[in-house]
Amino acid sequence: MSTNGHTLIIGTSDGLYKATPSGEGYATQKLSLSARGDFRAAVVADHRDPAVLYAGTVKSGMFRSRDAGRTWQEINNGLLHRTVWSIAQHRTTGDLYVGASPASVYMSRDQGDSWTELETLELLPETREWHGPVPPHVSRMKDIALTDDASPDIYGAIEEGWAVRSLDGGRSWQQILNDQGKVSHDGHSVRVVGGSEIVVATGKGVFRSDDRGEHFEPANRGLEERSYTSSPLSDNGQGLLLCGVTAVGPGGWRRPEGGDSGIARSSDGGRTWQVSTEGLPSPCAGIPRGIDFAHDDRSLAFVGLTDGTVYATHDAGHSFERLLDGLPPIMSVTVA
């Protein structure tokens, strides 16, 4: 399987790694930033200069590299909450958004030199119902999605606190309510797949809105056997979505078969799904944590699992081939 020479930045439980094509396979190199905690947020390569990388840690906040990962600088000015779970960059303005724990959102207009909290989020009365899944039960902003508008709509998935949105660039926020049980309390990931179409992945499957988050409906056709979403949604910009899914939640991942994991794919913007395990171990005990598409090949994507393996798909998620193993538990994957 050709991977077209793509370099990967892999976040693990023990620092960052760079995987570079070498002959018939990949060579891995450990970057700095060890002992900083898990790299739950996927590293972001700056849209204007791919040599500029932004990395978030769950212990030490945000870091920036201007030389493709060789050296790093701490960039935490104004970042009060330094347990980072998600990073997003606006496609045209270059503004950065960070989701942290306790669930909060910060924005930077200067490549991370300084951060401003979008603090009206924490004034929502529903925050009293937000909590994390493990002691001390602190909520997490697991994912952030932006529209392409100059003043973007901002969507956030909260573990555990459903989802939130801002329709005015972060000046004000609304809780996306758990209307009649349609949206799970356990928010994992959110993506904008059209001008007004929002997809939220949760611990109880996928939910979809056609009206900027006003109303949601379950969208779980094809996920009957594996409905727990273990990785952020990844989209190729053309209506194709991939997401790691497991047959059981984290409480069952210590079984010999682990999560019995697969990769769910949707070719219709999250309306229906197919789960593939072709090329993965059977059963797949490792938990998919990171997925990213190549920028120049919309059928090529890379998947990292907690067993330290990386797989590639060249057919938009129908089948997979192992590229790497022997890494620490993988938490995120970025195509650099």
Looking at the structure, tell me whether residues 47 and 160 fall in a common domain.
yes
Residue 242 lies in a domain: yes
Among 289, 287, 275, smallest CA distance to 317 is for: 275
pLDDT beyond 90 at 137:
yes
Looking at the structure, tell me whether residues 90 and 149 fall in a common domain.
yes
Biggest CA-to-CA distance, the chain:
56
Looking at the structure, tell me whether residues 3 and 42 fall in a common domain.
no
Looking at the structure, tell me whether residues 43 and 74 fall in a common domain.
yes
pLDDT beyond 80 at 22:
yes
Q: What pLDDT is recorded for position 1?
A: 45
Q: Answer whether 41's CB lies under 8 Å from 89's CB.
A: no
pLDDT, tens digit (0-9, with 9 covering 90-100), for 84-120 = 999 999 999 999 999 999 999 999 999 999 999 999 9
Task: Give Rg (Cα) of the chain.
Answer: 18
Residue 15 lies in a domain: no
Residue 206 lies in a domain: yes
* pTM over 0.85, yes/no: yes
DSSP 32: S
pLDDT beyond 70 at 48:
yes
Looking at the structure, tell me whether residues 167 and 295 fall in a common domain.
no
Looking at the structure, tell me whether residues 73 and 176 fall in a common domain.
yes
Residue 182 lies in a domain: yes
Residue 23 lies in a domain: no
Residue 24 lies in a domain: no
Residues forming a β-bridge with 201: 189, 206
Residues forming a β-bridge with 333: 10
Residue 21 lies in a domain: no
Looking at the structure, tell me whether residues 228 and 154 fall in a common domain.
no
Q: At which of 219, 253, 278 does a domain end? A: 219
CATH number at residue 76: 2.130.10.10
Looking at the structure, tell me whether residues 230 and 212 fall in a common domain.
no
Q: Answer whether 31's CB lies under 8 Å from 16's CB.
A: yes
The count of domains in the chain is 2
Looking at the structure, tell me whether residues 109 and 228 fall in a common domain.
no
Q: At which of 179, 203, 219 does a domain end? A: 219
Residue 317 domain boundaries: 1-7+222-336
For range 276-295, the mean pLDDT: 96
Looking at the structure, tell me whether residues 46 and 147 fall in a common domain.
yes
Looking at the structure, tell me whether residues 309 and 169 fall in a common domain.
no
Looking at the structure, tell me whether residues 135 and 269 fall in a common domain.
no
Q: At which of 190, 219, 248 does a domain end? A: 219
Residues 303 and 312: their CA atoms lie apart, in Å, by 6
For range 62-89, the mean pLDDT: 96
Alpha helices in the chain (DSSP H): none
DSSP 270: T
Number of other CB atoms surrounding residue 30 within 10 Å: 15
Question: For all residues of the chain together, what is the average pLDDT?
Answer: 92
Q: What pLDDT is recorded for position 87?
A: 98
For range 229-256, the mean pLDDT: 93
Residue 85 lies in a domain: yes
Question: SS3 for 179?
Answer: helix
Q: Answer whether 279's CB lies under 8 Å from 321's CB.
A: yes
pLDDT beyond 50 at 312:
yes
Residues 46 and 43: their CA atoms lie apart, in Å, by 10
For range 74-82, the mean pLDDT: 97
